[in-house]
Structure 1
Amino acid sequence: MPNSIAGPETALDAALPVPGQPAAAFDTGRVASLISQLLVELGEDPAREGLVGTPDRVAAWWSAFLSPDGAATATCFAESQLADQLVIVGGMSVWSLCEHHMLPMNLQVTAGYVPEGEVVGLSKFGRIAAHFAGRLQVQERFTEQFAEYITGVIGRKDVAVAVRGVHLCMSMRGVRMEAARTTTLHSGGRFATDPLLNQQFLAAAQWNAA
């Protein structure tokens, strides 16, 4: 029978402001008005053909982006025959927004863990990644949030996460290096103490990112 296991957040944690997470209800009308004002300040006419309805569309996108599906539970399935198996889930691609310049970043996510008596439902990994990506973020924080959540789900620190990011704040502004990539790694529990296990994960993560 599947078990629904809550993530690592406690009731107290949920009540506190979380970095990279909206703290108040989203006012779509107010945001649309601000977008309209921004267009005026940029020398545009929000009423001209082509821009009619743009503030509303932008506000609707912001509302949807900052309201991702919840990741409060992850389903685990009993598998009593497992022994020292490495499970790696790769190919997860999510979009987030750099909180320093509010420009998009694409994050390629690979996660690994060592199951012990049960396995995590595979689709949950993608939902968890999308949950933490749907906010103003930095890649380093995203990597730790994702890893901490999976750690809370399995109840052990045997979790590894690799994230490879393309940041438009680096590609289209500043140094404008389109080929630049940023990689962040988290190695917990056995991944931190077992070089062979960690190398197996890193090899698979590199393959998934190719």
Structure 2
Amino acid sequence: MSNENHSHNMDEDLDGYVKIDRYNPEMISKIAGHYEDILTQLGENPNREGLLKTPERVAKALTYLTHGYDLNPTDILKSAMFKEEYSQMVLVKDIEVYSMCEHHMLPFFGKAHIAYIPNGHIVGLSKLPRVVDAFARRLQVQERLTNEIRDCIQETLNPIGVGVVIECRHLCMSMRGIQKQNSVTTTSAFTGAFLNEKTRLEFLQLISSKLS
């Protein structure tokens, strides 16, 4: 998605943070046109009051939900890499995940837990959730998402090892098909030291424990 000639919608919250939503007007118009036709095919009247702006809203929502295509996860990590002789596990857990299943384009959401053992370099802690977002905000399957996060961290930081666990609920399971509302899907991916049972067990124990 090109960032050129985007319209801006600016909202300022109570903390003074300015949020800028960028949309490509031509792309939004094209997507909205398709959704107007979809509403008609579903038996709805896209010209009734409640649906007049729905195609445009959906187009903007989809653009936001898939903005990860415009992000480079490797560059995100490289922007905050620091030399540091720390060689113990670094863990960031309970990272919120919001993504879209590529099979039905329905959301799946949950938490990601990421750990790595530095090998001369550490990364700013906020960059790990940003990497998760960069991959999650695309059409995805949870298995690939887990591997992409692992591989990006391994290839960029070259740590002694990486561990990633993701736990998500999938609306394609709870709203349609098998309709099991309480099912959770867990995926994991490891490299290096995390392939060792002792290190992997320590990681899994840490993500399941609560700080007192």
Does the 8 A contact of 1:96 with 1:107 survive in 2?
no
> More strand by proportion, 1 or 2?
2
Q: TM-score of the superposition, structure 2-length normalised?
A: 0.80
* TM-score, reference length from structure 1: 0.81
Q: Is the 8 A contact 2:66 2:138 kept in 1?
A: yes
Instruction: Tell me the amino acid that sits aligned with residue 207 of structure 1.
Output: S
1:18 equivalent in structure 2: none
Contact 2:119–2:158 (Cα < 8 Å) also in 1: no
Per-residue deviation at 1:157? 5.6
Which of residues 132, 136, 140 in structure 2 aligns to 1:129? 132
Encode CA deviations 1:75-126: one digit per residue, 9 max, x unaligned: 112223x23x111111111211111111100031000110122211111111
| CA distance, structure 2, for counterparts of residue 107 and residue 136 of structure 1 | 16
Report what 2:113 is aligned to.
110
1: CA distance, partners of 2:95 / 2:39: 35
**Which residue matches 1:201?**
203
Q: 2:42 is matched with which residue?
A: 42
1:39 maps to a residue whose letter is: L
Q: How far apart, CA to CA, are the structure 1 residues paired with 2:52 and 2:106?
A: 23
Q: Distance in 2 between matches of 1:196 and 1:179?
A: 31
Q: Is the 8 A contact 2:119 2:159 kept in 1?
A: no
Flag as ranges the 4+ runs of structure 1 deviating above 4 A. none
Question: 1:76 is matched with which residue?
Answer: 81
Unpaired segments ≥5 residues, structure 1? 1-25
Aligned equivalents of 1:67 and 1:174: distance in 2?
28
Shift of 1:149: 0.4
One-letter code aligned to 2:175? M
1: distance between equivalents of 2:67 and 2:182? 31
Distance in 2 of aligned mates of 1:55 and 1:63: 12
CA 1:49–1:97: 2 relative to 1, 3 Å: same
Q: Which consecutive unaligned segments of at least 5 residues does structure 2 have?
A: 1-25
Using the alignment, how far apart are the partners of 1:180 and 1:129 within structure 2? 22
Per-residue Cα deviation, 1:153-182 (whole angstroms, up to 9, x for no partner): 211460000000100000111111111000
Alignment RMSD? 1.6
Deviations 1:24-50 (A, max 9, x none): xx8221110010001111111111111
Contact 1:167 1:181 in 2 (8 A): yes
Q: Give the distance between the partners of 1:63 and 1:40, measured in 2 at CA.
A: 22
